Amino acid sequence: MTKMLVAYATKMGATRDIAETVGDELARAGIEARCSTPRPGTTSAAVTRQ
């Protein structure tokens, strides 16, 4: 199974809600998704898209 991290940063919570929606859609597509805020020192690389 493919695993994916949906990383987000939020001040008021709206971005977390969007990330969780993305995670739910990935799960429906058969991808194991986890939503989390990035923690310093735990990731050596990241890919983002604006």
Which residue range forms the structural domain that includes residue 12?
Answer: 3-36
Is 31 inside a domain boundary?
yes
Q: Specify the pLDDT at position 41.
A: 73
Which are the contacts of 26, defined by CB distance < 8 A and separation ≥ 6? 4, 6, 33
- Taking the C-alpha atoms of residue 33 and residue 21, their distance in angstroms, rounded to an integer, is 11
Provide the domain count of the chain: 1
* SS3 (DSSP) at 11: coil
Q: Mean of the pLDDT values across residues 12-16?
A: 91
Is 10 inside a domain boundary?
yes
Binned at pLDDT 50, 70 and 90, residue 2 comes out as confident
Q: Specify the pLDDT at position 7.
A: 87
Is 27 inside a domain boundary?
yes
Q: Specify the pLDDT at position 50.
A: 56
Is 28 inside a domain boundary?
yes
Binned at pLDDT 50, 70 and 90, residue 15 comes out as very high
Q: Which tops the pLDDT comparison, 34 or 45?
A: 34
